[in-house]
Amino acid sequence: MVKSELLQKMCNLYPNILRKDLEKILEIIFYEFIEALRRGENIEIRGFGIFKTAIRKARIARNPKNSELVQIPEKKAIKWKMSKIFFNRINKNFTENKISGTH
C-alpha cells in the first residue's frame, strides 16, 4: 500500500471529511513521526508496534561494480518491532492451523 492508497481508503471511510483535510492529517502524522525519530524519541503505537532510531557504525565496504573500497559514514536507521497483538493478527491463520494440527 502506498500513501495515495491509504488516503483513498480514508476518504472512503470518512466521506464527510474533505479529501484535502484528510491529506493534511496524514502529512501532520508523518511529519511528527519524522521529527520525533530525528530527536531520538521512540514512537509507540499500542497494538501496532514501536519505532526507534539506531546508529549504524561507520564501515568500509566494497563497490560491487569495480571492487573499490568505499568508506560508509555513520548514520541513523529506523528499527521497528511489531506488537504481540499485531503479530497475532497477521499470523492468525498460521497459528490456528498449527494449533489444530497438534490436536
Q: How far is CA 87 from CA 9, 15, 48, in A?
A: 23, 31, 9
Averaged pLDDT, 88-92: 89
- What pTM was estimated for this model as a whole? 0.71
CATH class of residue range 42-103: few secondary structures
Are 72 and 60 in contact by the 8 Å Cβ rule? The answer is yes
pLDDT higher at 95 or 2: 2
pLDDT tens string 42-74: 999 999 999 999 999 999 999 999 999 999 999
Are 71 and 79 in contact by the 8 Å Cβ rule? The answer is no
Per domain, the residue ranges of the chain are: 1-41, 42-103
**Beta bridge partners of residue 75, listed in sequence order:** 56
Three cell numbers written together for 28: 501532520
In this structure, what is the dihedral angle of CA atoms 43, 45, 47, 49, given to the nearest 10 degrees?
A: -20
